[in-house]
């Protein structure tokens, strides 16, 4: 007797007795917004025999029950769920409902699948670039070769989340190329495969990515935790791509070229278009709502009294590592213990204009771009006192730059007087255009700059 299962497209909220047979197309952790080290839920995308897809979620209290029993690209019989409205703007499925695992949920692996796995819904690069109407709320898959990359960089999102960003160029079989920007764990997944000069093709399947069109240019990018970069050579789709390539030979030529980083000038375009209003630092201090204003500020000092100028970080992410026994180090983000770490910049600087001063927080890549050397390289060769900053960091002093800063609730209340930097522009023409014309170097006389503890400190 053939067992009958419900189709996911027929699921509705008035019932919980749903019996479905599905593949797990995607499984991913959803961290807490307050603490990225805490997993709030484990979410999945499920697909039935007719290709219908539905979102499912295992809440925190049930993660230990199901975490190791459910695997990607595996078929399961599942039954008994609470049906909720997932209420998301970005569309990963055609179904508006989400299946919430509960204490009554049952899951059984199907050892002999009853229908084939079709895990990906591919779009092509020409389709994306030629589309007259762009929907940034639709997620899709893409298969391509990685042919260019920038160095990964740390950044802080508009919500204050620390993450990573890496821009790449990807190319299809017809040599059509599109820019692809990776964030978070997608950077961690791909970086090890490009750490050395690579002479063989790197084929990737980009799962659940979205399109972005800005200033007439089309690109693709990952979208929070649901996106994944698949590089497994056993994947049929990657093998099919490799088999269709004209040239798959391993040669002495490097297949992935180094792209010029746009990090320090990442805000140039909006400044060039004149879409920016530069606020004075005094106006920033007077803000009543959270916002992301641009300011024109000159670097007056480096503040190393409290937190120094560098920290020991995980090699795979910007998270600070904690010392363990036997000279080992732990990254709590990935629950990884290792004997090695990287030095990264974390510097507080004071900038000024002719109205006031402001303390800004700069992370590793921002500082490296501005001073021309990475923290790890600097500390490997520096023989000075690590409690004092090296002379090379004084290259920051008196730099006139445009800064886009994050003003959060803690800044408004005075609980936190250090502002995070979102973007930096050091383009000389734009700095000259936006800098207050009446500012002179004599304004520095309003502040008392004193050498203290190996740092130029500002006393008010």
Predicted confidence band of residue 139 (pLDDT cuts 50, 70, 90): very high
- Mean pLDDT for 406-435 is 90
The verdict on residue 330 lying in a domain is no
pLDDT of residue 161: 65
Question: Does 273 share its domain with 248?
Answer: no
Q: Does 341 fall in a domain?
A: no
Examine residue 238 and state whether it is found in any structural domain, yes or no: yes
Query: Among 21-25, 121-125, 137-141, 195-199, where is mean pLDDT lowest?
Result: 195-199
What is d(CA 330, CA 337) in angstroms, rounded to the nearest whole number?
A: 4
Q: Total domain count for the chain?
A: 3
Q: What angle do CA 419, 422, 425 make, to 5 degrees?
A: 110
**Residue that wins the pLDDT comparison between 375 and 113:** 113
Q: Let me know whether 254 and 289 are in one domain.
A: no
Residue 226 lies in a domain: yes
Domain finish residue from 205, 230, 258: 258
Q: How far is CA 98 from CA 15, 57, 102, 289, in A?
A: 13, 7, 12, 34
Confidence of residue 197 (pLDDT cuts 50, 70, 90): low
Indicate whether 198 pLDDT > 80: no
Are 278 and 411 in a shared domain?
A: yes
Please give the pLDDT value at position 276.
83
Query: Is the pLDDT score of 79 beyond 60?
Result: yes
Domain boundary among 196, 229, 258: 258
Checking if the pLDDT of 56 tops 90, the result is: yes
pLDDT of 158 higher than 60: no
Say which CATH number the domain at 279 has: 2.40.50.140
Residues 279 and 412 in one domain: yes
Are 299 and 425 part of one and the same domain? Answer: yes
- At 1 the pLDDT is 39
As a whole number, the mean pLDDT across the chain is 84
Q: Which residues pair with 52 in a beta bridge?
A: none
Position 454 in a domain: yes
pLDDT at 171 over 80: yes
pLDDT digits (tens, 9 = 90+) for 2-31: 568 999 999 999 999 999 999 999 999 998
Q: Flag whether 325 is in a domain.
A: no
Q: Is the pLDDT of residue 253 over 90?
A: no
Q: Is residue 217 part of a domain?
A: yes
Same domain, 87 and 134: no
User: Among 328, 332, 352, which Cα is nearest to 340's?
Assistant: 328
Same domain, 253 and 278: no
**pLDDT on residue 385:** 65
181 has which bridge partners?
167, 221
As a whole-number percent, the residues of the chain with pLDDT over 90 amount to 49
Same domain flag for 289 and 358 = yes
Same domain, yes or no, for 286 and 152? no
Let me know whether 281 and 429 are in one domain: yes
- Quote the CA–CA distance of 21 and 402 in Å, as a whole number: 56
Residue 212: predicted pLDDT: 85
Q: pLDDT-derived band of residue 457, with 50, 70 and 90 as boundaries?
A: very low
**Which structural domain range is residue 21 located in?**
8-109
Nearest CA to 310 among 298, 320, 300, 297?
Answer: 320
pLDDT value of position 458 = 33
Mean pLDDT on 293-299: 94
Q: Per the domain annotation, does 145 fall within a domain?
A: yes
**Average of pLDDT values for 172-188?**
92
Same domain, 101 and 197: no
Q: What is the mean pLDDT of residues 56-83?
A: 95
**pLDDT attached to residue 355:** 94
The answer to whether the CB of 285 falls within 8 A of the CB of 356 is: yes
Mean pLDDT of 337-341: 87
Of the candidates 452, 368, 170, 401, the one whose C-alpha atom is nearest the C-alpha of residue 268 is: 401
Of the three residues 226, 258, 290, the one that is the final residue of a domain is: 258
Confidence of residue 196 (pLDDT cuts 50, 70, 90): low
Distances (CA, A) of 434 to 2, 296, 363, 431: 72, 7, 24, 5
Shared domain check, 150 and 61:
no
Name the residue with higher pLDDT: 66 or 274: 66
């Amino acid at each position: 007797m053939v067992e009958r299962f419900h189709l996911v497209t027929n699921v509705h909220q008035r019932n919980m007795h749903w019996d479905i047979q599905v593949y797990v197309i995607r499984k991913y952790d959803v961290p807490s917004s307050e603490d990225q080290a805490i997993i709030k839920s484990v979410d999945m995308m499920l697909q039935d025999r007719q290709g219908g897809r539905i979102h499912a979620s295992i809440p925190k209290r049930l993660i230990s029950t199901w975490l190791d029993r459910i695997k990607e690209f595996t078929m399961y019989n599942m039954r008994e769920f609470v049906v909720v409205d997932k209420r998301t703007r970005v569309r990963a499925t055609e179904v508006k409902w989400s299946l919430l695992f509960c204490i009554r949920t049952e899951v059984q692996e199907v050892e002999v699948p009853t229908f084939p796995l079709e895990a990906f819904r591919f779009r092509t690069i020409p389709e994306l670039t030629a589309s007259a109407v762009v929907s940034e709320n639709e997620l899709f898959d893409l298969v391509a070769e990685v042919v260019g990359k920038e160095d990964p960089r740390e950044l802080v999102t508009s919500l204050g989340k620390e993450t990573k960003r890496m821009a790449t160029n990807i190319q299809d079989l017809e040599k059509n190329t599109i820019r692809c920007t990776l964030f978070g764990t997608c950077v961690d997944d791909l970086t090890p495969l490009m750490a050395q000069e690579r002479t063989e093709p790197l084929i990737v399947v980009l799962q659940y990515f979205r399109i972005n069109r800005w200033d007439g240019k089309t690109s693709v990018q990952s979208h929070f935790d649901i996106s994944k970069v698949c590089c497994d050579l056993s994947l049929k789709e990657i093998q099919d791509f490799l088999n269709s390539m004209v040239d798959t030979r391993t040669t002495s030529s490097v297949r992935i070229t180094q792209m010029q980083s746009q990090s320090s000038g990442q805000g140039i375009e909006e400044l060039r278009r004149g879409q920016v209003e530069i606020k004075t630092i005094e106006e920033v201090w007077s803000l009543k709502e959270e916002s992301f204003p641009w300011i024109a500020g000159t670097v007056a000092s480096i503040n190393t009294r409290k937190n120094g100028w560098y920290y020991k970080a995980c090699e795979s992410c910007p998270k600070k590592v904690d010392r363990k026994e036997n000279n080992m180090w732990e990254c709590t983000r990935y629950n990884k213990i290792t004997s090695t770490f990287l030095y990264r910049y974390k510097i507080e600087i004071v900038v000024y204009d002719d109205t006031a001063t402001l303390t800004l927080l700069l992370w590793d890549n921002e500082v490296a771009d501005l001073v021309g050397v990475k923290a790890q390289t600097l500390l490997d060769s520096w023989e000075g006192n690590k409690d004092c900053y090296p002379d090379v960091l004084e290259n920051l002093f008196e730099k006139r730059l445009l800064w886009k800063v994050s003003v959060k609730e803690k800044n408004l209340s005075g609980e936190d007087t250090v502002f995070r930097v979102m973007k930096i522009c050091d383009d000389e023409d734009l700095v000259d255009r936006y800098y207050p014309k009446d500012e002179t170097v004599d304004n520095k006389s309003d502040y008392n700059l004193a050498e203290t503890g190996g740092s130029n400190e500002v006393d008010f």
